[in-house]
Amino acid sequence: MVNNGILLIDKPSGITSHDVVDRIRKITNEKKVGHAGTLDPLATGLLIILVGKQATRLSQKLIGYDKRYLITTALGFTTNTLDTEGIMTDQLDPMSDRIKTAARKFKEAAHSFIGKYEQEVPSFSAVKIGGNKLYDLARKKPEELQKITLPKREVTIYAIETTSSPPTQEGYPQVIIDCTVSSGTYTRALVRDISQKLEIPMVQTALRRIRIGNFDISQAKTLEDVTPSDIIPLSSLQIND
């Protein structure tokens, strides 16, 4: 069996990236296992799992690769976390004219973000301020969070395409954003920024990662199907500098 290499996993919704790592440890009987870029529990798609000591050393390099996502967003309401796990903070009637107008202008607004821009990190994120993770402050000390100026990071949106998606059960229209972005881009923040441009509340309802660098979801295995023989040896990989 290959002792050092990577596994491309199609992560299901409802489990953490660390849960996947634990599962791979058991499947491969290898203690040194990591991943190259986390996915939130609700998110699905490509997760690069690093198996073996040499492979785990590549983590930061692989995390720095560009990524492609399919972001499903609903128009007309939002939450404190900018996704469906949070508490509702703003909501319009599903039949609101504001929603209809925003839906017509959505593509233009989304395309305006192509290129470099300064993205404010979400308040519910793992970014540390004064030694505290923002999501800890948001949950436990929201009054302190209000006093903090959230940091901004330069990110690059390389491409965006938009397609309509079936509405939510409540009747809110949904749009799928197919985007290729630089490492460090927060998809929930991109949805927030598009919503601000459209002057309408929006929320991320689903997220699927389909590419990291040259690695594609079509190469990935499910947790049910993956075996140690699926490990791709480091010697056969083309890792970009």
Which residues are tagged catalytic? 40
State which H helix or E strand residue 44 sits in: strand 44-51
Rounded CA gap, 178 and 210, in Å?
A: 10
Contact between 181 and 156 under an 8 Å Cβ cutoff? The reply is: yes
Cα 139 to Cα 41, 59, 63, 85, 148, distances in angstroms: 17, 29, 27, 13, 14
Which stretches of 130-201 are assigned E, i.e. beta strand? 132-133, 152-165, 174-181
Note the helical H segments in 68-162. Answer: 97-111, 134-140, 142-145
What is the token pair recorded at 47? 């997760």
Rounded CA gap, 150 and 130, in Å?
A: 12
Q: Which residues pair with 7 in a beta bridge?
A: 49
